Structure 1
């Protein structure tokens, strides 16, 4: 049977045996599967062609890709393009390669161990260690939600003139959109995300066509240059782009999402599932690179070319696009893309929140309640700051949310590399040594860069 929409809302998901995967090196046995309500619900054609099977696996990678184009990424790309033109495109490329490798490990962990990252931490570490890890993960998801609220509110303000404090409150309504999509089936959730990503890509394609960048300079921008190291300001922005690349919730999210596919229980089936899931995430992250590079190219072709080298805020970019491109359509497209980005991010925050809560402490909460709790925790500080400090305050709050995410990153990325490198835990699905070494180096670089960004924030 080919890939299709998962079981309907009235059809129960078949029970999954807990003894499919031997205990191996895990401290405790595997419990209920990740995202149990949609576990294995998207069927894969057993005897189908490679392309039919790949079609069944396409989807989770696009939900993961959303995390690589959040408002924090937009801000660094705008700043880099406006100040240094196309030179930092090479940094965007390197950071994307890092992301591809780490997300490949997430797919390997989810399929090979039958656990998402949260469940793996629970089953590998004692409670005194796993409970603090759960708390850190929840704080990170709240920080992620905070950034999404701010991005969505700014998008509503730019497009419709809605005051930021009202826009923040409107973001609470998105819970009903997400719940409706989940009720229809997981393929509808994926289709929603892919559709919005398509809108974002189309918006930037039109804006770049208007800007008419120097394509020779664009191509040269992807080549490494010593100027990035020699120029302190350029180095700092490069560190910002690299440091904001990997979001902790994406690691939990991807390791759970890959298990929505019904890929079978044999080692051969799982090896194939790992390969196809990795192809899915690689394709999706290439799309994320395209969009992030588009933001930087747009900034370089407009702001840098016009001598406006200090554009870093989203509302600044929106205001300058119309006079520079001579069209009122450009800022509208920018606002639409930003709003779509915020809406997309709410989907991934909901799912990663469910994975983290159920995986770490095995507590099940109704999806609507889980979503409302997370959103209300994030809305309160966002609303207070917008009321008292306005746009400047939201910008500072956005920076703070990125710092919180940076602090959480080691507690997600280090266990991921540890688990996938362990033959005792992964068996025949253990990561190749070269992949483990590459991931460990990437983890060390990203953690060091995030530590520097946090230090810079603390020291002003």
Structure 2
């Protein structure tokens, strides 16, 4: 046997040994209908190979710019100018690390995070984790429903109750795209992200922000800690940035790529998937930063330092910026954000149910269940309390997401730091300790945020 053959054989043995560390074996791939459906070029230039992996990262990035994040960025910019840009930057760096670990878990183990939890924990523990994750997805879906309804109301004067009901029609769009192929879903998502980015790029140009203030804002300030009100908004930005369902989503959709199931193939897939998600999340950083910059330039500098509602921001933009297109661009971006988040929420719901329970439902049934649970409270609250009620529902959805986040991050870091499960792809020592440090920060901040919200 040659030395090269010996190395290959040892690698195969390592992969088999790693698979034995799970309590249950994984029989069904995640999202079976699109599993390894996107071919990858094995030869060619670096960028030609990278092109095959571009897509999943942008589906993940959608969760970092959904309507649930808008309120905190608007409130932070109007109240404190550019100061909290550093918090958005730090949140984004945390997200880049955790999403890279999620992609690695999916590629190396052949399991999404939900399947990994099912195959590692006992059935009662897995069931509890599934319930918590379903609550988070429903809460996220609730934010998407409300965000889209608000956008339809602002742009077309459609009553909020009717707007909430209209959002149910996105089920048809998701089914159509799934039947055509996974690349179609990725293309629509990327197009909507570009739409959001262009809208806010124009908005920033119209608002004429202070370049010096922006650069200074990206530097951490001690004022954030010393000012309790500013700290609370900063915690809200941090707590609402990393979405738990994104970790489940990313660990699954990276497996849509048809990479070689060998050590070298997985190493290459991890590299390109990490590049894809990092670039996409930097685009999310631009969008979230642009929302805060726009709020700071339009509201904070003009004395409107108490703007916190999406509707208020929409109505104030035109008179403050002196342009009739400002509010329209804001509404279009909000609608694109809500619809984009709906697409990824659909996939996340399917992944979580299949992964934790090993139950295969038709996508339209799964989507109908989740959307119905989200629409019913949204319709009731909107009908009784109007716009004020939708704002409170948005806050509640972020609180629920914060509650569930730790239950997704801890297993992710634990699995990817376990050599028995990951083999030679286990987290390096510095990555392991950095990941646990980030996890600790997220847990502490979310506990603090929840305490402040309720008490």
CA distance in 2, matches of 1:288, 1:166: 30
Structure 2 residue matching 1:442: 3-state secondary structure: helix
1:420 corresponds, among 397, 416, 419, to 416
1:219 corresponds, among 203, 215, 220, to 215
**Taking structure 1 as reference, are residues 331 and 191 closer, same or farther at Cα in structure 2, changes over 3 Å only?**
same
CA distance in 2, matches of 1:207, 1:370: 38
1:252 corresponds, among 248, 251, 258, to 248
Alignment pair present for 1:99 and 2:95: yes
CA distance in 1, matches of 2:33, 2:223: 51
Q: Counterparts in 2 of 1:285-434, with a 5 A limit?
A: 285-434=281-430
CA distance in 1, matches of 2:380, 2:352: 27
Structure 2 residue matching 1:69: 3-state secondary structure: coil
TM-score (norm 1): 0.95
Moved over 2 A (4+): 19-24
CA distance in 2, matches of 1:85, 1:392: 25
CA distance in 2, matches of 1:111, 1:365: 24
Shift of 1:24: 2.7
Q: Conserved in 2, the CA contact under 8 Å of 1:21 and 1:114?
A: no
Match in the other structure for 1:283 = 279
Match in the other structure for 2:74 = 78
Q: Conserved in 2, the CA contact under 8 Å of 1:21 and 1:113?
A: no
Shift of 1:31: 1.6
Relative to its length, the structure with more helix (as a share) is 2
Alignment pair present for 1:153 and 2:149: yes
Q: What runs of 5+ residues in structure 2 fail to find an aligned partner? A: 1-13
Alignment pair present for 1:118 and 2:111: no
Match in the other structure for 2:3 = none
Match in the other structure for 2:265 = 269
- Deviation digits for residues 207-243 of structure 1 (CA, Å, limit 9, x no counterpart): 1111111111111111111111122221111111111
CA distance in 1, matches of 2:116, 2:45: 32
Match in the other structure for 1:458 = 454
Structure 1 residue matching 2:64: 3-state secondary structure: helix
Q: Conserved in 2, the CA contact under 8 Å of 1:20 and 1:265?
A: no
CA distance in 1, matches of 2:383, 2:221: 44
- Deviation digits for residues 269-314 of structure 1 (CA, Å, limit 9, x no counterpart): 1011001100000000000000000000001111001010011100
Q: Counterparts in 2 of 1:25-174, with a 5 A limit?
A: 25-174=21-170
1:208 corresponds, among 201, 204, 211, to 204
Shift of 1:72: 2.2
Q: What runs of 5+ residues in structure 1 fail to find an aligned partner? A: 1-18
Cα RMSD for the two superposed structures = 1.1
**Aligned residues, how many?**
441
2:181 corresponds, among 174, 182, 185, to 185
Bigger Cα displacement from structure 2, 306-315 vs 428-437: 428-437
Shift of 1:29: 1.0
CA distance in 2, matches of 1:358, 1:48: 36
Shift of 1:21: 5.3
Match in the other structure for 1:198 = 194
